Homo-oligomer: A and B are copies of this chain.
């Protein structure tokens, strides 16, 4: 299905990763910068084909392609890319049931969060910026158990069981999408403190990344470091490491540089990096904030046409 985009139609960000990888936390700050009224967020989980009970009966996890209306998701992405509204299905995570559909109007920016949003060529072709989120697995497990029990009505045993059942589908269907991303974001605990996460960005050459030269560490210290490296698949990447312990002064210098590179968006400058910490409190992370800003940079550039998405 061709997805032509007439002038001035939405810019698409994809944020794909396993469940509880931190997709919504990452995109929340990006939507805040861009302005909530200018952003449509599409949750690909809404395209689940079955209720939780039906999946159990069928022996399916939500990570399996056949557990989702992926062709309809692709169709809706294509429609929204042309600026059209969609009547999207609704999956209620709290009860695990399907609900009546809801309208989603296209906005200048569309953020798509999901498990399988890079599954087909047709879906991938819709995005201007493709991010894959891949936290340290211990971290993800703890996030997932906490969320499933607190918000989705699972017992701890059920949540652990769900994780185990999903492992094979994650390896078969979620992880392979990593190779399509322009940016792979990996959060890891800084020392033993889950509230200060290090962020590593693998920057693939499919996007024109900003020149970070002026704010990079000279000798590998200071918390903001770029190095040429080989990815786990052997391919060359720029590896940007943002320390969870970066000094506020250094973080501000990086922020200032990034904002100066998108002067067309300077009026959007807002507090970033908010997340819910392990004690359930609202907190702020510099490494998260900078990750959000780096991605926003690409969206603003795509919108203003100053940086071709694929140089």
In contact, B103 and A100 (Cβ under 8 angstroms) = no
CA A85 to CA B84, docked complex, whole Å: 17
In the complex, the chain B residue whose C-beta lies closest to that of A47 is: B87
User: How many Å lie between the Cα of A99 and that of B85 in the bound state?
Assistant: 20
Out of B69, B84, B100, which one reaches A89, CB within 8 Å?
Answer: B100
B75 adjacent to A101 (CB under 8 Å): no
Question: What B residues does A79 contact at CB under 8 A?
Answer: 75
Q: Which residues of B contact A207 (CB under 8 A)?
A: none
A218 beta carbon closer than 8 Å to chain B: no
- Interface flags for A254-281 (1: CB within 8 Å of B; 0: not) read 0000000000000000000000000000
Those of A60-111 within 8 Å (CB) of chain B: 69, 71-72, 75, 79, 84-87, 89-90, 98-101, 103
Separation of A99 and B72 alpha carbons in the complex (Å): 18
Q: How many angstroms between the C-alpha atoms of A74 and B73 in the bound complex?
A: 18
B85 pairs with A71, CB closer than 8 A: yes
Residue numbers in B under 8 Å from A100 (CB-CB): 89-90, 98-101
A100 to B71, CA, bound (A): 18
Min distance, Cβ A124 to any Cβ of chain B, angstroms = 19
Docked CA distance A79–B84 (Å): 13
| A98 to B87 CA separation, bound complex (whole angstroms) | 13
By beta carbon, the residue of chain B nearest A97 is B100
User: Separation in Å of the A92 CB from the closest CB of chain B?
Assistant: 10
CB-defined contacts of A98 to chain B, threshold 8 Å: 100-101
A69 to chain B: which residues have CB within 8 Å?
87, 103
Closest to A79 in B: B75
A75, A87, A100, A103 interface centre (most CB from chain B within 10 Å):
A87
Are the CB atoms of B87 and A72 closer together than 8 Å?
yes
- B71 in contact with A75 (CB, 8 Å): no
Q: How far is the CB of A266 from chain B (nearest CB, A)?
A: 36
Pick from B72, B84, B89, B99: contact of A75, CB below 8 A: B84
Contact across chains for A89 and B101 when beta carbons are under 8 A apart: yes
A117 shortest CB reach to chain B, Å? 16
Inter-chain CA distance A103–B89, complex, in Å, is 11
For A101, give its contact among B71, B85, B101 (CB under 8 Å): B101
Q: Contact at B85–A87, with CB atoms within 8 Å?
A: no
Distance of A216 Cα from B79 Cα, bound (Å):
50
Contact with B along A37-75 (1 / 0, CB 8 A): 000000000000000000000000000000001011001
A99 to chain B: which residues have CB within 8 Å? 100
Beta-carbon nearest neighbor of A99 in chain B = B100
Residue of B nearest to A90 (CB): B100
Nearest 4 pairs between A and B by C-beta?
A: A98-B100, A72-B87, A101-B101, A89-B101
